[in-house]
Structure 1
């Protein structure tokens, strides 16, 4: 029986002339058809919209839904005078930094102050069905050492304030200001998970239990493990690739847990260093292998990940799709690499954003 999948994608709304963020989210959501509106969410910032697939079992189903939702959101954005952009961080400027009127977002803004008003960033969250919450906590332990590699494949935010930051994922660097964001800690049980969250809420690090912003977590709303490490992917193809890899990682972790294989006991500081490395370099150089504690060629680690999850990819019928997707990224580049090539060729950030908006819908 295939594990279920769901994907949440956050998008920026940009002014097509200036390239600045456009505070048009409410108008864009209101302009969606009934079906697409039911799969949309108002986000924390006025220049962001989120589109959410239903529960899927096949990557082809994920692709179909993502494509339809991107097209619907892009058409509504165009009708409001904005453009929809699958880009991980604010590329030029965010003139309106107030949070939206949702009471929870207002509470977050009051609690965290200027951090909550940083320029908008957009991620991609993948849910994989794991019905047992105790098992979900153990799965998160097993994912820790592999998620930096997944992060490196999703990098899609090199720009900030109209220039190349030198980081492949500026979104990841910017989000380090949030105190409860980062690798999930090694936790022995669901009871320890709950106790840890209660302690962090008591400290104020987390405003409430909904502010568990770890890169992998048991979903508070659904019987899933939610992986939230990546930038919004530039194209639907890239998102499908990441969804397939994450499902295979979760399925492999479940098999290892069932067989009594313990999660690698890697210190948090090494996992954090691997994530910073991934955000900085993507797959364009070396990545830190947190298990060995050494820097290795990025694509060597990617191949090692694929080797570890190949049985799960085969059982879900996803191996050919994932292999083709990885070859496409290896030859064509990550979203960050593609943006940088356009910037180097044109010297014009707005030309980059025009192409980003096109690829958001057309792939």
Structure 2
């Protein structure tokens, strides 16, 4: 059940014999298996053509393709790879070539963990003794057991350490289920679960979390006892979610649904490798892992299968119920050193960002279903088989020929060739704004932001009736008169208030979130830019809230909704609650020696997420000089405009008229506003600006 892998294809090559992962010059190699359903392109239902497709694909992929437990499925496996760039290129090649072979057979391939359409009858079991033994042992339980998984194999030759590593991985397995959840539908029905595949697996006595063991011998005793009482087919190859492979020097992790996109599979492989390396280091120093009750762990699994990302779930380490994003932050903190050492921190961080922006594969399937029905779900998943991965500049993957194995031939010797660790801050995954998917026809006035990554805007562009909203404009402008000094920059002549709201795209509702009590300002709201503000990296700034009287201001509401119109063409924002940050900022000076600056005082991005947008609208400008806006390439972040070559700058301009402004798709550009100085007309000058930030809502923003 779920396959066991083939010798010689998963993490078996390592440049130096012996030793554990962190003792070797190169990182431990990783290989992955992905299973897919074979579907009829006309009906979109699964069909028993797996053996036929595997036979045809073997002419191209050799032993990297095979049949699976049922004839409805086919499996590919990568060779072991030392670098995630290499793994990404190889997996993309395998997917693309398999899809081409399927098309040649009049078929399609669907990366979903359960059949979306069809598969309601007893699944035809593949011709393999291990599969037939499973049917004899578990009988009718096997009728609907057609599921597709992602399996990750990490090189770990020390069997004793590998057995103890399983103890350390146990508490994190439910989170891996949530991160990979991609099976909300089965046989034409919404199950109400994020990972129905995991539900099907958990009913078996030998599938699910492994037991906690004291040693390799203890592991073997428990496995033998399970086989003896009929809980599993083979003592040497139990089907627990982590297991040392009996023939290969690897540890296998098998709890995950097959993701829709190859980029997510690679990111999950990076997470698993980070967990294995971290756990091996602990085990080698005598730590046998936390003692977790089996009941609590299975309860955490059940939470994960039902709600998925970003729902509440049981943290098996603490016993508390916590949202998935919080548990993901704890996971990254736990394995962060290993990820940094391996060059995988940026990839994993980008993956968590993607989950925050769009949810898991289950979210994707349900969103497509709402827009076009279940046939559209199958079509969308099939398209994922040929989505090309983005690779960073200078990556060896850029030098491979399209349609060919990136290694020329998938040999074990070639597969472990090191590409070198990636820079920790590099973004290695495909950005969402590469050929972004849309729901329906986007507004025409969103086109410039969508096309170029930024656009200059005015009242006419925004569709704002300034005459009808004149009184609301006056009340909004009046709110700038009593802005308190920025508590984090009291000497910079910057004044500000800030609140955030949540917008529900499916209902149009916009609700402000109350701030928390504060002795100085009444109420405050936290503002978080992660590491994207070099002046306040990873600092949660507590800023005074905007007045409640502005919550019902019609002009402010019109500006927020006009900006949302320019952002919601991005599919990843249309299917999740949307965070709206509202900043009232004034740069004010009173003599010619003063200079008021923004924060950060350099080109920057406000979040860097693939689904983050920033809009600025001038409310008033009086008796000031400067305040030039600059839009530049994303690589320019952290620098001053005058230090850039001309080709790095997209635009320079000064906002002068009320409601003049601009919008940026944060991932694709950087932006800046220059210092403000006093003009020639009097002894007071100020520039009042409204900043509206838009991003997928996650707890903690």
Same fold (TM over 0.5): yes
Partner of 2:284: 258
Does 4-13 or 253-262 show the bigger shift? 253-262
Which residue of 169, 187, 191 corresponds with 2:217? 191
Matched, 1:285 2:311: yes
Aligned equivalents of 1:296, 1:330: Cα separation in 2: 15
Q: Residue 170 of structure 1: which of 171, 184, 196 is its match?
A: 196
Give the secondary structure class of the aligned counterpart of 2:171: coil
Rate the CA distance shift 1:196–1:96 in 2: closer, same or farther, 3 A.
closer
TM-score normalised by the chain length of structure 1: 0.96
Gaps of 5+ in 2: 1-25, 389-701
Match of 1:10 among 32, 35, 43: 35
1:206 and 1:119, CA in 2 relative to 1: closer, same or farther beyond 3 A? closer
Aligned match of 1:353: 378
Question: Is 2:375 the partner of 1:344?
Answer: no
Does 117-126 or 26-35 show the bigger shift? 26-35
Distance 1:12 1:253 in 2: 34
1:103 aligns with 2:153: no
Q: What is the alpha-carbon distance in structure 1 between the residues aligned to residue 273 and residue 29 of structure 2?
A: 8
- Equivalent of 1:44, from 60, 64, 69? 69
Shift of 1:210: 5.2
CA distance in 2, matches of 1:24, 1:121: 15
Structure 1 residues 36-45 or 234-243, which shifts more?
36-45
Judge conservation of contact 1:215–1:228 (CA < 8 Å) in 2: yes
Superposition map of 1:214-229 within 5 A = 214-229=240-255
Distance, in Å, in 2 between the alignment partners of 1:36 and 1:274 is 38
Provide the C-alpha distance between the structure 2 equivalents of 1:25 and 1:160, rounded to a whole number of angstroms: 19
Change in CA separation of 1:262 and 1:105 when aligned onto 2, cut-off 3 Å: closer
1:150-208 C-alpha deviation (Å, 9 max, x unpaired): 11100000001212111000100112232211101100011111111111111111122
Partner of 1:85: 110
Give the match's secondary structure for 2:57: coil
Structure 1 segments unaligned to the other structure (5+ residues)? none
Specify the alignment match of 2:325 in structure 1: 299
- Determine helix, strand or coil for the equivalent of 1:181: coil
Q: Is the 8 A contact 1:29 1:37 kept in 2?
A: no
1:361 deviates by: 2.3
Confirm or deny: 8 A CA contact 1:287 1:297 kept in the other structure. Answer: yes
Report the alpha carbon displacement of residue 119 of structure 1 after superposing the two structures with TM: 4.4
Which deviates more from structure 2 when the two are superposed, residues 124-133 or residues 352-361?
Answer: 352-361
Higher relative contact order (CA 8 A, sep 6+): 1
Query: Which is helix-richer, 1 or 2?
Result: 1
**Cα distance, 1:108 vs. partner?**
2.0
Cα deviation, residue 264, structure 1: 1.0
| Bigger Cα displacement from structure 2, 199-208 vs 236-245 | 199-208
> What SS does the aligned partner of 1:227 have?
strand
Kindly provide the CA deviation profile for residues 321-340 of structure 1, in whole angstroms up to 9, marking residues without a partner as x.
11112212211221110111
What is the number of equivalent residue pairs in this alignment? 362
Over 3 Å counting, the alpha-carbon distance change for 1:53 and 1:275 in structure 2 is same
The aligned counterpart of 1:334 is 360
CA distance in 2, matches of 1:78, 1:112: 35
Residue 70 of structure 1: CA displacement? 0.6
Kindly indicate which of the two structures has a greater share of residues assigned to strand.
2
In structure 2, which of residues 97, 103, 107 is the aligned counterpart of residue 72 of structure 1?
97
Cα RMSD after superposing both structures: 1.4
> Does 2:260 match 1:234?
yes
- Residues 112-123 of structure 1 aligned to structure 2 (within 5 Å): 112-123=138-149
Looking at CA atoms only, which structure, 1 or 2, has the larger radius of gyration?
A: 2
Give the CA deviation at 1:33. 5.0
Q: Tell me, in whole angstroms, the C-alpha distance in 1 between the residues paired with 2:316 and 2:304.
A: 12
CA distance in 1, matches of 2:234, 2:283: 30
Structure 1 residues 139 and 15, CA gap change in structure 2 (3 angstroms): same
Q: 2:71 & 2:62 partners in 1: Cα distance?
A: 16
Conserved in 1, the CA contact under 8 Å of 2:161 and 2:284? Answer: no
> 2:423 corresponds to which residue?
none
- How far off is 1:147 after superposition? 1.2
Contact 1:156 1:335 in 2 (8 A): yes
- Of stretches 282-291 and 96-105 in structure 1, the one that deviates more from structure 2 is 96-105
User: Residue 129 in 1 paired to residue 155 in 2?
Assistant: yes
Contact 1:6 1:55 in 2 (8 A): yes
* Change in 2 beyond 3 A, CA 1:55/1:264: same
